[in-house]
Chains A and B, each alone.
Chain A
């Protein structure tokens, strides 16, 4: 009998979900480490742990969408939950000296998601690239697109560059000090506008 999971690319799924996790943490302005030393990799590990420990893979089947999309929703909820707990407890969960969270007011019920990050990522990115004109142009072009499909193609059309050239520019951008940390939200909590 054919194993219906044999064509699932788990390694690709892991990479996609790692990048998505960074985006979720960045979106909500949480630091990359939360809940007493937990970080997004631990949460991602938790997701896969639950998936493999569930005899039916948490009920996933192809009709429910790609494995990345399916596990991505679980990952999103878990990260938001971790950030929410951190916000309400004001410290690591295993720290005896942690402050007790005040009771939730009517305007901030415990059920709501953490507030969106107030970090101005665009301004921060411009600061990081400094006087590097091609990279500044890249950011300007990125502000003009939706960022969904064929990003390099879209950026290339604006910049009059090939997708390969755009890809190399992005590679150069990632090598700029602070850009990787900004993407991975490692400095997001300290760069609020």
Chain B
């Protein structure tokens, strides 16, 4: 069983408002990070640290270990797809196509891999979400 428990720390009002960063959906995390660390480039930072570590391993005539290589590959800046290795292209396509099987923050996404027809309970949830969407649209129309 994974042990995800963090050191005990009573949440303050800001923790409560913005939630545990590890629990945030990607878009929410991106919004918060961009607001709090403007100008930061995590991919570039990770790449630089991993690349520096890789150099040390190579100096010792060793191959960079898996975690270092994975970080370098994942954060390498791709400017064009022309010279990207087929394995990397496959990885990108797979990442787009593969279903997300983890917990979802919005119940609407829970239906993506569902087989069969919606029952009454499902329909009620979908109706609620439709109302919610309508509320959001109304809200946006009111905004100047």
Identify the A interface with B (CB < 8 A): 3-6, 8-12, 14-16, 18-20, 22-24, 26-27, 41, 45, 48-49, 51-53, 55-57, 60, 62-66, 68-69, 72-73, 76-77, 116, 121-122, 125, 138-139, 142-143, 145-153, 155, 162-165, 167, 170-171, 173-175, 180, 182-184
B22 A69 Cβ-Cβ under 8 A: yes
Nearest A residue to B15 via CB reads A147
A183-B18 in contact given A8-B70, A150-B105 (Cβ < 8 Å): yes
Query: Does residue B35 face the partner (Cβ distance < 8 Å to A)?
Result: yes
B4 at the binding interface (Cβ < 8 Å): yes
Closest to A173 in B: B17
Interface readout for B57-71 with A: 1 if CB under 8 Å, 0 if not? 100000001111111
Cross-interface CB contact of B23 among A41, A48, A148, cutoff 8 Å: A148
- For the residues of A in contact with B, the DSSP-based class is helix
Q: Are A49 and B35 in contact (CB under 8 A)?
A: no
B124 at the interface (CB under 8 A from A): no
Partner of A52, one of B1, B29, B68: B68
Can you name the residue of chain B whose Cβ is closest to the Cβ of A124?
A: B13
In the assembled complex, B12 has its CB within 8 A of some CB on chain A: yes
Is B9 interfacial (CB 8 A cutoff)? yes
Contact of A139 among B13, B66, B74 (CB under 8 A): B13
Within 8 Å CB of B110, what residues of A?
none
Q: Which residue of B lies closest to A113 (CB)?
A: B7
Total chain B interface residues with beta-carbon distance under 8 A:
62
Task: Enumerate chain B interface residues (CB-CB to A < 8 A).
Answer: 1-7, 9-24, 26, 28-33, 35-37, 40, 42-43, 45-46, 49-50, 52-54, 56-57, 65-71, 73-75, 91, 105-106, 132, 135-136, 139
Chain B residues whose CB sits within 8 angstroms of the CB of A60 once the complex forms: 67
A-B contact pairs, 7 of them (CB 8 A): A5-B70, A18-B36, A63-B2, A69-B22, A162-B136, A165-B136, A165-B139
Tell me the smallest distance from the CB of B68 to a CB of chain A, in Å: 5
Contact assessment for B29 and A5 in the assembled complex, using a CB-CB cutoff below 8 Å: no
Q: Does B18 lie within 8 Å of A65, measured CB to CB?
A: no
Q: Is the CB of A23 within 8 A of B9?
A: yes
Q: A15-B21, A62-B2, A139-B13 are in contact. Are A49 and B32 (CB under 8 A)?
A: no
